[in-house]
C-alpha cells in the first residue's frame, strides 16, 4: 500500500467518523484492490460538482466527501455574498442514498446560516434549476449521478441563474472545497429552522411555465388522442411528465408499468440511460403492442430524453440525440415562424459536437445559431450574456439534451417530452410522420449522420491513459480520414484552429477545453473529448452527403454508416 493510501485509511480509522464507517473501512482491508481504489485519491470536485461510486473512502460518494464539498461551497457563497440572507435550493433523484445526501447537504448549508429550500421528495433536475430562478436563490444543488449505473451518485452545483457553475465561480468553488482538509471543519448540524420544504406549489409553477412553451395548443386539442407511451426508467420523470402531458391536453398516455416506480437499483436495466437501446426496450415493446404514435423515455433525474418512432417502413426505431435535436430545433424555429410568434432577434444554441445540420436549418430560416462547449452550463452562460439583446428559443446537444425557452437553465427532459409530443401531433395534423419530416429535411439540407463511441479507462492509470491518447492526437493528428485529407485541426485546449494544408491559424473564441476536432474539406468531422464526469474518452463522428430523394434514404444511409466504420477502423478505435 502506498503512503497516500495508508495515510487516508488511517485518517478514516482514527478520525471523527462514525462507527459504521470505521467498520466498513476495516472490512475493506481484506480486499486490497478495492481499498486502494477507495482511498488512492480524493474524489475530485470538478466544474460540475461530484460524481462517483458510493461507499466509504476519500474516492467515494458518501456523507463525508459530500459534507466537505458542501462546506467549501458554503464558504464561497458567504464570501461572495457578505451580509446577505443567502438562499439555496436542493433537490434529488431516485438513486440509492439520494434523499440522505440531499438532507445532509441541506443540514450543512443551514448550519452555516444559509436558508435552504429542500424539495420534500424526489424531483426532476430541471425543476431544481427552475426553482433557483423562481425563488431568487443564490445557488442550488441536486443529488444525482444522472444516467450512470446504480453504484454511482453525485452532486451537481448550480449558480443564481439556474445554470451549473461556470468561470469564475467553478474554479473558485473548487479552491474552497479543496481547502477543506478535515471532516472536523464541516458544520454538520444546528440550522434546522432554516430548512423550508417545497413541493406542490413549485410543481404548479413549473407546469405553468412548461405550458407556456406550447406553440400550437389548438393542434393538440384536435389530436389529444395521440397515442403516447412513456417510461421514466425508474426515475423522477414519473413525478411530472404525466401531469405535464395532461396539462398540455393529451389524454391517451400509457406509462410503462415495469419502469414506473422510482427505484435506485434500476431493476430492469443496467444503464438507466435513454441513449441505451436496452433501457428503452420495454417501452418499445409496449409501443409496438399499442401501435403508439410516439415513445419517450427519461433518465433518473429527467434531464435526458429519448424517443422512438416508426420509420418509413413502419418499423419502430430509436432516434439518436442529434436526430431528436434536429427535429426539435426545426419545429421550434418553423412553427413559431408560421404562427407569427418568431422575433427578429431569435437565436438558438448548440454544442460543438452536435449536428451541423442544425446550422443549416438556422441559416435557412435566418436565425442566429451559436456553438458552445459541451455541457448545458455553456448554453446557460451564453443566454445570460445575450439577455436583452437576443431572444433564446431552443438549445440542445447530441447527448439527448434539450432546453426549451429560458426559464430552466439546464437540459430539461420534462418540457422536451411535452414539445416532442406536440411535434408528433403537428406532424399528424399535416399528414406526415416525424421520421418522414426528418427524411424531408435530409433532402433539403443534406443527410447528416453522426455516431459516438466511448472508451473507458478505469482505475488509477485510467486518467493518465486518456491524457496520453489526447496528447498523441494533439502532437500527431491524423493526416487522412476515410481517404480524405484532414484540412483543419481545432484544438480547444490551446484555443487555436489550424489549416493543415495552408498553415493558416486562427483563434477559437471559446473557453479552454480539452477537445480536439479533425475536419475534412467535405465536412467530415471527428471530435475527441475526455468525459468530465466519467473515466472515458469519447469520439464523435459526423459525415454527410446529399440525399436526392426519400427513395434513396436507405442507400445513402448505408453509405454513410460504412464511412463511419471506415473512420473507426482507420483510427484503430474498434
**pLDDT tens-digit readout, 352-373:** 999 999 999 999 999 999 999 9
State the pLDDT at residue 534.
Answer: 67
Cell triple for residue 15? 478520525
What DSSP state is assigned to residue 166? -
State the pLDDT at residue 573.
Answer: 86
State the pLDDT at residue 535.
Answer: 75
State the pLDDT at residue 461.
Answer: 76
Cis amide bond preceding 168, omega within 30: yes
State the pLDDT at residue 458.
Answer: 74
38 an active-site residue?
A: no
* Alpha-carbon radius of gyration of the chain: 24
What DSSP state is assigned to residue 184? G
Angular region, 388: left φ>0, alpha ψ -120 to 50, beta rest: left
- Model confidence band, residue 457 (pLDDT cutoffs 50, 70, 90): confident
Q: Which residue has the cell 406542490?
A: 200
pLDDT > 90 fraction of the chain, expressed in percent and rounded: 92
Domains of the chain: 62-198 (3.40.120.10), 206-445 (3.40.120.10), 447-570 (3.30.310)
> Residue 439: enclosing H or E segment and its boundaries?
helix 434-445
State the pLDDT at residue 463.
Answer: 79
State the pLDDT at residue 53.
Answer: 95
Is residue 414 within 8 Å of residue 127, measured between CB atoms?
A: yes
- Model confidence band, residue 572 (pLDDT cutoffs 50, 70, 90): confident
Q: Taking the CB of residue 493, how many other CB atoms lie within 10 A of it?
A: 13
State the pLDDT at residue 536.
Answer: 86
Average pLDDT, the chain: 95
Instruction: Compute φ and ψ for 310, nearest 5 degrees.
Output: -85, 135
Of 93-107, 211-225, 474-488, the poorest mean pLDDT is in: 474-488
State the pLDDT at residue 456.
Answer: 87
Of 195-204, 334-343, 370-379, 456-465, the poorest mean pLDDT is in: 456-465
Is residue 414 within 8 Å of residue 468, measured between CB atoms?
A: no
Paired with 525 in beta bridges are 519, 542
3-state secondary structure at position 165: coil
State the pLDDT at residue 533.
Answer: 60
For the cut 90, the answer to whether the pLDDT of residue 532 exceeds it is no
3-state secondary structure at position 12: helix
> Which one of 146, 214, 433, 513 is the catalytic residue?
146
Q: Can you tell me the mean pLDDT for 407-416?
A: 98
State the pLDDT at residue 154.
Answer: 96
Q: Can you tell me the mean pLDDT for 223-245?
A: 98
Q: Can you tell me the mean pLDDT for 320-326?
A: 97
DSSP string over 57-125: STTSBSHHHHHHHHHHHHHHHHHHSTTS--EEEEEE-SSTTHHHHHHHHHHHHHHTT-EEEEESS---H
Q: Can you tell me the mean pLDDT for 201-218?
A: 98
Cα–Cα dist 212/221, whole Å: 15
pLDDT digits (tens, 9 = 90+) for 533-554: 667 899 999 999 999 999 999 9
- Model confidence band, residue 459 (pLDDT cutoffs 50, 70, 90): low
pLDDT digits (tens, 9 = 90+) for 266-280: 999 999 999 999 999
State the pLDDT at residue 465.
Answer: 86
- Beta strand segments in 256-367, E: 294-298, 305-310, 316-318, 346-351
Cell triple for residue 473? 492526437
CA distances from 244 to 91, 213, 395, 396, 426 (A): 19, 12, 20, 21, 18
State the pLDDT at residue 467.
Answer: 87
> Residue 26: enclosing H or E segment and its boundaries?
helix 19-28
Q: Which residues does 215 contact at the CB level (< 8 Å), separation at least 6?
A: 331, 332, 335, 336, 339, 341, 422
DSSP string over 197-209: EE-HHHHHHHHHH
Amino acid at each position: 500500500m502506498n503512503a497516500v493510501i495508508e495515510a487516508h485509511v488511517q485518517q478514516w480509522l482514527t478520525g471523527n467518523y462514525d462507527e459504521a464507517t470505521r467498520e466498513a473501512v476495516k472490512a475493506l482491508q481484506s480486499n486490497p484492490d478495492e481499498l486502494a481504489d477507495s482511498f488512492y485519491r480524493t474524489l475530485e470536485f470538478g466544474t460540475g460538482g461530484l460524481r462517483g461510486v458510493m461507499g466509504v473512502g476519500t474516492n467515494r460518494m458518501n456523507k463525508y466527501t459530500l459534507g466537505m464539498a458542501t462546506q467549501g461551497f458554503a464558504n464561497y457563497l458567504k464570501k461572495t455574498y457578505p451580509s446577505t440572507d443567502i438562499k439555496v435550493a436542493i433537490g434529488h433523484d431516485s438513486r440509492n442514498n439520494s434523499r440522505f445526501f440531499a438532507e445532509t447537504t441541506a443540514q450543512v448549508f443551514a448550519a452555516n446560516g444559509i436558508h435552504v429550500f429542500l424539495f420534500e421528495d424526489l424531483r426532476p433536475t430541471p425543476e431544481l434549476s427552475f426553482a433557483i430562478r423562481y425563488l431568487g436563490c443564490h445557488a442550488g444543488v441536486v443529488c444525482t449521478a444522472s444516467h450512470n449505473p446504480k453504484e454511482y451518485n453525485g452532486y451537481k452545483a448550480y449558480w443564481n441563474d439556474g445554470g451549473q457553475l461556470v468561470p469564475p465561480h467553478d474554479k473558485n468553488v473548487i479552491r474552497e472545497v479543496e481547502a477543506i482538509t478535515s471532516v472536523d471543519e464541516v458544520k454538520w448540524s444546528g440550522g434546522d429552522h432554516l430548512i423550508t420544504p417545497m413541493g406542490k406549489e413549485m410543481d404548479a409553477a413549473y407546469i405553468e411555465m412548461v405550458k407556456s412553451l406550447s406553440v400550437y395548443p389548438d393542434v393538440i386539442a384536435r389530436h389529444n388522442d395521440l397515442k403516447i407511451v412513456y417510461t421514466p426508467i425508474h426515475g423522477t420523470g414519473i413525478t411530472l411528465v404525466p401531469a405535464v402531458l395532461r396539462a398540455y391536453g393529451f389524454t391517451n398516455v400509457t406509462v410503462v408499468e415495469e419502469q414506473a416506480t422510482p427505484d435506485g437499483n434500476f431493476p430492469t436495466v443496467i444503464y438507466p440511460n435513454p441513449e441505451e437501446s436496452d433501457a428503452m426496450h420495454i417501452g418499445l415493446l409496449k409501443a409496438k403492442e399499442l401501435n403508439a404514435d410516439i415513445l419517450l423515455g427519461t433518465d433518473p433525474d429527467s434531464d435526458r430524453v429519448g424517443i422512438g418512432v416508426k420509420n418509413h417502413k413502419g418499423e419502430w426505431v430509436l432516434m439518436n440525440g442529434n436526430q431528436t435535436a434536429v427535429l426539435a430545433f426545426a419545429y421550434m424555429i418553423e412553427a413559431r415562424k408560421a404562427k407569427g410568434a418568431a422575433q427578429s432577434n431569435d437565436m438558438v444554441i448548440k454544442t460543438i459536437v452536435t449536428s451541423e445540420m442544425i446550422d443549416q436549418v438556422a441559416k435557412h430560416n435566418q436565425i442566429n445559431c451559436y456553438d458552445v462547449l459541451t455541457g448545458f452550463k455553456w448554453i446557460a452562460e451564453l443566454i445570460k450574456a445575450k439577455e436583452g439583446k437576443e431572444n433564446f428559443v431552443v438549445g440542445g446537444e447530441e447527448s439527448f439534451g434539450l432546453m426549451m425557452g429560458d426559464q430552466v437553465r439546464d437540459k430539461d427532459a420534462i418540457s422536451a417530452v411535452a414539445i416532442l409530443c406536440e411535434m408528433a401531433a403537428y406532424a399528424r395534423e399535416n399528414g406526415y410522420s416525424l421520421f418522414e419530416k426528418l427524411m424531408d429535411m435530409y433532402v433539403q439540407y443534406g443527410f447528416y449522420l453522426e455516431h459516438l463511441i466511448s472508451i473507458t479507462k478505469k482505475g488509477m492509470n485510467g486518467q493518465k491513459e486518456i491524457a496520453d491518447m489526447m496528447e498523441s492526437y494533439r502532437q500527431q493528428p491524423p493526416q487522412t480520414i476515410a481517404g480524405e485529407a484532414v484540412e483543419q485541426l481545432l484544438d480547444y485546449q490551446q484555443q487555436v484552429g489550424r489549416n493543415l494544408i495552408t498553415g493558416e491559424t486562427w483563434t477559437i473564441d471559446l473557453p479552454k477545453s480539452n477537445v480536439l476536432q479533425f475536419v475534412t474539406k467535405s465536412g467530415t468531422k471527428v471530435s475527441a473529448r475526455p468525459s468530465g464526469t466519467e473515466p472515458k474518452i469519447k469520439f464523435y463522428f459526423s459525415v454527410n452527403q446529399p440525399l436526392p430523394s426519400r427513395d434513396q434514404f436507405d442507400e445513402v444511409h448505408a453509405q454513410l454508416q460504412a464511412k463511419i466504420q471506415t473512420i473507426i477502423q482507420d483510427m484503430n478505435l474498434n
